[in-house]
Amino acid sequence: MINKIVNSVHEAVSDIFDGAIVLISGFGEAGSPIELIHALIDHGAKNLTVVSNNTGNGHVGLAALIENRQVKKMICSFPRTADSVVFPELYRKGEIELELVPQGTLAERIRCGGAGIPAFYTPTSVGTPLEKGKEVREFNGKKYVLEYGLKADFALIKCETADRYGNLLYNKTARNFGPIMCMSANSTIVQAKHIVELGEINPESVVTPGIFVKKVVHILHPVSENKLISENFSYL
Amino acid sequence: MNKNVAGIWSREQMAQKIAEDIPDGSYVNLGIGLPELVANYIPADREVIFHTENGLLGVGPSPKPGEEDDELINAGKKPVTAIKGSCFFHHADSFAMIRGGHIDICVLGAFQISEKGDLANWSTGETDAIPAVGGAMDLVAGVKTVFIITQHFTKNGESKIVKECTYPLTGKRVVNRIYTDFAVIDVTDKGLYVIKMAPGIDFDFLKKNTEAELHLY
C-alpha cells in the first residue's frame, strides 16, 4: 500500500540533514510552507543551502530559519522585499552567501534538475554582470549563456489539496515554484490544506503527479504570514 | 523631479500614451510601480490580457477592500483579481511564456536607457545594496517589444537617456520605445527618434536636456 501521509510536521522534516540543499516554495507569502519551515527550525539541521525566490519576511518562516543561522547560502532572484529585514542584515555583515539568479533562469534550472537535464543555454543575462564567469555560445547569430540544472535533496512545498498518492492541486498564484520544486528534489515534503480520498482529484486536473512527492502532512489552517508580521510575531 | 518644467505629461498621461499603443489582443506584462498604471487606460474597445510572472494570465483590477486574497497577488506581491477566462500556471511555464517569445509587450521602469537601447533598471551598483534582479533580465531577453515608462530626469535632474549606461545592465539592445514625461522616443538601428513631445516641450529643449543624441523622423 502506498500512503505518503505522515502525522506531523516534525515527522515530515525529520530526515533533513546538515548541509542539505532545500527548495522552499513560495513567491512572497503566497505558497510559502510556513509550518514546514518552522518544523525545520525545531529540527535544527544546519549549513543548509536554500533555494527560494525571496528570503522571507519579518521574523517568521524562511526569515526565521535564516535568523536561526541554519542557512549558509541562499539561491534566489529577489532577496529583498518590503518586509525583509533578516537577510539584508546578515548579508551586509558577510555572514550569509548569496547566489543571485534571474527569476526565469532560476525556474528553468529547477525544472531541468527535475527533468534530468544537466544544463541549458538562455539569452537571459547576456551582456550583464550576471553573465560573468559563465560560458557564452552563439546560436544562429545570437548569444546565449550556459546555466546548470539545479538538483536538491529536499523540497518544502505548500499546496491546497493532496491525496495519499501525493497527487497535488494548488491555489491560485500560490502555485508558483511548487510543481517544479516537487520534481527536482530527491525528497519532496508537502503541507496540504485538504487531504482527499483517491479519485476525488480529477485525473485531468492533477497539477503535480504523485510520483514527485515523498511525504504529505495535513495543515488545515496554515498561519497567515502577513498577519503574523502585522502582529510583530517572531518564531524564534 | 522634473526641474519644474511646465507643460509636461503626468504619470497618468504617460501611462495613457502607452495604453493607446497596445494593440487589441495583445498579451502584456507590466512591471512593478509606474508601469502598473497602464492597465487603467486600455481603450474600452480593446481586449488585452495581462500576464504576471508569478503565474497568472488574465490579471484583473485590484480587489475591493476586505476581498484581498493572500494567494492571489501580482509580481509586486500586491493583491489582484483574476478575470473570467484567466488561468494559473507554475513558474517554469510562466517564464516559458516570457523567454519563449510568447508575450507581446512588456512595460518596465528604468534607471538609464542608452541610445543603443541598452537598459539598466535592476541595480545602481552601490556596494552596500542588496542585489535583486527578479524577472527583469528574462523579460527584456524574451518579450517581443519592450516599452519603458520613466521620468525624463533622475531625482538629481540628470538625463536618464544616456550615451552609455553607467549602471549595471539588465540587457543589451533590448528597448524598443521610451515614454517619458517629456516625449515618446523610438529606439532604432539609426539612433533615437522622437515621435511625440509633451505640449510644453520643443525639440531644442529636449535635445539640451537629453545626454544621448536625438533625431526627428
Give me the percent of chain B exceeding a pLDDT of 70. 98
- How far, in Å, CA of B127 to CA of A43, rounded? 36
Q: Which residues of A touch B131 (CB under 8 A)?
A: 79, 98, 100
| Mean residue pLDDT across chain A | 97
Phi/psi-derived region of residue B125, left when phi > 0, alpha when psi is between -120 and 50, beta in every other case: left
Superfamily of domain A5-119+150-229: Glutaconate Coenzyme A-transferase (3.40.1080.10)
Q: Is B120 helix (H, G, I), strand (E, B) or coil?
A: strand
Secondary structure of residue A194 in the 3-state scheme: strand
Q: Which residue has the cell 516537487?
A: A182
pLDDT interval class at B1 (50, 70, 90): very low
* Secondary structure percentages of chain A, helix, strand, coil, to 5: 25, 30, 45
DSSP B191: E
Q: Is B126 assigned a catalytic role? A: no
pLDDT of residue B126: 87
Q: How far apart are CA A138 and CA A126, in angstroms?
A: 11
Phi, psi of B122 (to 5 degrees): -120, -20
The answer to ipTM > 0.90 is yes
Say how many C-beta atoms besides its own lie within 10 A of residue B84's C-beta. 6
Indicate the residue type of A114: G
- In chain A, residues with a C-beta closer than 8 Å to the C-beta of B89 are 175
Domain range summary for chain A, segments of one domain joined by +: 5-119+150-229
Cα-based distances in Å from A236 to A50, A86, A152: 19, 12, 26
Q: Which of A29, A3, A1, A12 is nearest to A165 (CA)?
A: A3
Cβ contacts of A173 on chain B, cutoff 8 Å: 52, 54-56, 71-74, 88
Q: Is the pLDDT of residue A97 over 70?
A: yes
Return the SS3 of A104: helix
Q: Kindly state whether B87 is in contact with chain A, defined as any CB-CB distance less than 8 angstroms.
A: no
Which one, of B104, B108, B56, lies nearest residue B78 by Cα? B56
In chain B, what are the domains?
Answer: 11-216 (3.40.1080.10)
pLDDT band at B2; cut points 50, 70, 90: very low
Q: How far apart are CA B111 and CA B169, in angstroms?
A: 10
Question: Which residue is catalytic, options B47, B53, B71, B211?
Answer: B53
Residue A122, C-beta contacts closer than 8 angstroms, at least 6 positions apart: A104, A105, A108, A144, A145, A147, B99, B141
Mean pLDDT across the stretch B89-99? 98
Secondary structure (3-state) at A22: strand
Distance from CA of A1 to the nearest CA of B (A): 30
Give residue B101's Cα distance to chain centre. 17
Could you read off the pLDDT of B145-194 as tens digits, one per residue? 999 999 999 999 999 999 999 999 999 999 999 999 999 999 999 999 99
Q: Which of B92, B134, B142 has its CB closest to that of A180?
A: B92
